[in-house]
Amino acid sequence: MKNKYFFYLSSIIILISSNELLAQKANTPNSEIRISTNKIVQKLNAPTKIWINGGWEIKSDGTKVWKKGYWIFEEKTFQKKSEIFRQKLNERNKV
C-alpha cells in the first residue's frame, strides 16, 4: 500500500515539476523588445553588399577580356527602411 501511494505521489510531483520546467514563457520584458528593435534598426542602417561575379567580356573585334568581380554597396532609402522595419515588427507580433 505504501509503495502505491509513494508511486502516485512521486508521479504527481514529477508531472508538476516537468510542466513548470518545460513550459514556455509567454511574457517578454520590454528591455528585450527594445534591444531587438535596436538590432533591427542597426541592420537596416547598414549598407547592402552585393557581389557581382566576374566573367568574359567579348569586345567588338572578337577578343575576349576577363572582367574581375567586384562589390557594390547600396544604401536603402528611408521609405524602404521604414517598410522593412514595419514588416519585421509585424512578423514578430504574429509569432
At residue 87, does pLDDT exceed 60?
yes
| Residue 29, pLDDT score | 57
φ, ψ at 86 (rounded to 5°):
-65, -40
Among the ranges given (23-37, 44-58, 61-75, 78-92), the one the predictor scored with the smallest mean pLDDT:
23-37
| Residue 69, pLDDT score | 92
pTM: 0.35
Residue whose C-alpha is closest to residue 48's, from 83, 95, 80 = 80
How far apart, in whole angstroms, are the C-alpha atoms of residue 31 and residue 36?
9
User: For the segment 15-49, what is each residue's pLDDT rounded down to a tens digit?
Assistant: 777 666 666 555 555 555 566 777 777 777 777 88
At residue 7, does pLDDT exceed 80?
yes
